[in-house]
Structure 1
Amino acid sequence: MDAIELDERSQDIFRQIVEAYLASGEPIGSRSISRALPHKLSPASVRNVMSDLEQLGLIYAPHVSAGRLPTDRGLRFFVDALLTVGELTPDERVGIDQQVSGSGSDAVDAALTKASMVLSGLSSGAGVVLTNTADLRLKHIEFVSLDPGKAIVVLVGEDGSVENRIVNLPAGLPQSALQEASNYLNAHIRGRTVGEAHSIIEQLAVDARAALDSLTQKLVEQGIATWSEASNKGPGTLIVHGRGNLLQNLEVRSDVERVRQLLDDLETKRDLMQLLSLTEEGEGVRIFIGSENKLFSLSGSSLIISPYRDNQQRTVGVLGIIGPTRLNYAKIIPAVDYTAQVVSKLMK
């Protein structure tokens, strides 16, 4: 955005327009602004300033003789230059800590689900969490006997996530082969990302023929196939909570169509890996407003996201809020930031 400078009077009037929009979604007129200003200014003088703001592309009139609303450009200017971002209270921090923190073997999955619920509850939008399956590193793989002829393959990621698959056992396979196959795979694949594991799978299958007996080799190949299957599920796991928030207070058909488009995008996971790439250019919270939000641009929504990281500071996912441009940015930005910090601590 080109540099925009507003004098104090213009800032006060522009702030009134934006804050009225964020509070109600309704345009505000010069007479109402005149009464709300901290200093005396006639409606005619307010209209002159509004005309200047319109020329700068910061506001627009949705209807003839209507009040004014901020444009996407105006909201961006407001967020960058005029918004005072508050801090969470100690009670709010404790509340997020208690709600997000999980326990047990499903701690990470539970925490991510709770994070999306917390963010949804703090906004008029949907809480969104995306995990990056492509960069998941394998911590442990184990074959556990289920019943004659079947076993469960347990895949544990370094982020604490757990995948279970049932496989058929080769006829005549001794019990000791389960442990032998587990040890062999852990020795070769542990610590590998999905992408790295793919590159060694073929060679691993060849090596197994020389190192293992034929039945154990078949089991190892099933384990490799299972890990490969887990890596091919897609770009990541998406958790969305609070879709109903997006359907509240819809008064015009264009809003209904906008939300329908957004829900369709979320349902089909359209270009979701862009969420991860959007966070690579900097630390902390990223804000995308309306048309500048390339991922959900057709729905005219705002996106406030932050990455969460593992103990090696690798980005393993993103979380945040997707909703209308009329979000409470001052409240949501610190909430998204702190929730990402809490999830990152759990990853470590």
Structure 2
Amino acid sequence: MQPLADTQSLMQRLDQRSRDIFREIVEGYLATGEPVGSRTLSKGSIALSPASIRNVMADLTDLGLLDAPHISAGRAPTHMGLRLFVDGFLEIGEPARADRQTIDDRLKSAGADFENVLSEASDILSGLAGGAGLVSSPKRDAAVRHVEFLPLGPRDAICILLTEDGDVENRFIQVPEGLPSTALIEAGNYLSTRMKGRTLSEAAQDVREELSSRRAQLDVTAAGLVEQGLAQWSGETPGRGRSLIVRGRANLLEDAKAAEDLDRVRQLFNELERQQNVLDILDTTQEAGGVRLFIGSENQLFPLSGSSVIVAPYMGGGKQVIGALGVIGPTRLNYARVIPMVDYTAKVVGEILSRRRAKDGK
């Protein structure tokens, strides 16, 4: 993960004393979930008086890095402070050996069914990270082998799409009464010729442009059928047929300590029910090409839930991103452990999918 530009400038404004105190506060908060006071720090590794530490804490609060969540002398990191800690202080290494072993063993035991693998991955992340595990099923955007239109009745027809990986998708469309069968054949042949060997998302825009510029040698009726066929499929919504697997919602409830915490968790549960929104968040990893971390309001989907989301893509053959997985939990997640864990799980899931497709010849 690349540090954000604003956290780099904030880091430059902190002297060594401020950095040491800030780090101790954040690490103490992540370990206990409670604000850290100056007296606690003075009894630890910070060789300063409580008064001197409080002065530094006040400066860090003025910078927006610390906050006093309760009426006490203790301070806890803000979302900005957590972001600075992750970008500037946290050393991200490999997953712990025990975590790697657990991930390897459980995913291997999930069997050949990839849906079982995805479900197990979500359960693993939930159990190891202490939040809710999120996994999206793979994008289904395989290359097209054949397209065909068949009449069903006076005003109905079916558009059939066969992909290179053997999937068959059917869409029902309405047609003008008395439509000649030659128009259906012409539309099917046209789409088959232009889409064969290409994915829907690759070919759909070219076909639309050809239709709109009148380069297509189709009569008006056949052209209308082609446009209906494209609209019925998901060239514009590549997540067709995808699902979201969520495990460990109860972990989010266990972390709630107050009424306002429960309200935030309820809101979070409501958002998790809107699967397409969560799939959109997971899909942001395709642009980043690696692990992404959203803290609090950085995530537009869960801005008020006080949560952190860590997501990573998994890839199929050819290093193409086809899905994503991750963890959502309280902002005091163990980032040093969870970030590499999510990344490693995504890599193992991708390897399993690639091996399965190679074995199936897809």
Q: TM-score range by the shorter chain?
A: 0.7 to 0.9
Distance 1:323 1:91, change over 3 A: closer
Instruction: Give the letter aligned to residue 303 of structure 2.
Output: S
Please state how far the C-alpha of 1:100 moved relative to its aligned partner: 1.6
Cα displacement string for residues 142-199 of structure 1 (whole angstroms, at most 9, x for unaligned residues): xxxxxxxxxxx9x8885x9x8899xxxxxxxxxxxxxxxxxxx999977553546878
Distance 1:347 1:140, change over 3 A: farther
Determine what percentage of the aligned residue pairs are the same residue: 47
Please state how far the C-alpha of 1:10 moved relative to its aligned partner: 1.6
Between the aligned partners of 2:259 and 2:276, the Cα distance in structure 1 is 23
- Uncovered stretches (5+) of structure 1, i.e. residues with no partner: 142-152, 166-184, 207-223
Cα displacement string for residues 251-270 of structure 1 (whole angstroms, at most 9, x for unaligned residues): 11111011111111011225
Local SS of the residue matching 1:122 = helix
Please state how far the C-alpha of 1:314 moved relative to its aligned partner: 1.6
67-76 vs 310-319, greater mean Cα deviation: 310-319
Distance 1:196 1:85, change over 3 A: closer
**2:284 paired with 1:297:** no
Asked whether the 8 Å contact 1:274–1:295 carries over to 2, the reply is: no
Asked whether the 8 Å contact 2:134–2:245 carries over to 1, the reply is: yes
Please state how far the C-alpha of 1:15 moved relative to its aligned partner: 1.6
Counterpart for residue 328 of structure 2: 322
Cα displacement string for residues 304-332 of structure 1 (whole angstroms, at most 9, x for unaligned residues): 11111111222101111111111010100
Cα displacement string for residues 97-123 of structure 1 (whole angstroms, at most 9, x for unaligned residues): 22123433x23x111111111111111
Distance 1:157 1:131, change over 3 A: farther
Counterpart for residue 105 of structure 2: 98
Please state how far the C-alpha of 1:12 moved relative to its aligned partner: 2.0
**Alpha carbon RMSD of aligned pairs, Å?**
3.9
Match of 1:71 among 78, 82, 104: 78
Match of 1:83 among 83, 90, 112: 90
Match of 2:57 among 7, 26, 50: 50
Asked whether the 8 Å contact 1:61–1:68 carries over to 2, the reply is: yes
Distance 1:240 1:34, change over 3 A: same
242-251 vs 274-283, greater mean Cα deviation: 274-283
Counterpart for residue 141 of structure 2: 136
Instruction: Give the letter aligned to residue 123 of structure 2.
Output: M
Counterpart for residue 152 of structure 2: none
Local SS of the residue matching 1:3 = helix
Counterpart for residue 117 of structure 1: 123
Asked whether the 8 Å contact 1:111–1:343 carries over to 2, the reply is: yes
Match of 1:346 among 334, 345, 352: 352
Local SS of the residue matching 1:271 = helix
Distance 1:67 1:257, change over 3 A: same
TM-score (norm. length: structure 1): 0.73
Instruction: Give the letter aligned to residue 14 of structure 1.
Output: F
**2:259 paired with 1:248:** no
TM-score (norm. length: structure 2): 0.70
Asked whether the 8 Å contact 2:37–2:73 carries over to 1, the reply is: yes
Between the aligned partners of 2:81 and 2:330, the Cα distance in structure 1 is 15
Q: Where do 1:1-348 residues align within 5 Å?
A: 1=6, 2-5=9-12, 6-35=14-43, 37-101=44-108, 102-104=110-112, 106-107=113-114, 109-133=115-139, 135-137=140-142, 192-195=198-201, 228=233, 235=240, 236-269=242-275, 271-348=277-354
Asked whether the 8 Å contact 2:11–2:88 carries over to 1, the reply is: no
Between the aligned partners of 1:287 and 1:58, the Cα distance in structure 2 is 18
Cα displacement string for residues 40-65 of structure 1 (whole angstroms, at most 9, x for unaligned residues): 21110110110111111100112334
Between the aligned partners of 1:333 and 1:53, the Cα distance in structure 2 is 26
Q: How many residues align?
A: 304
Asked whether the 8 Å contact 1:128–1:321 carries over to 2, the reply is: yes
Distance 1:303 1:157, change over 3 A: farther
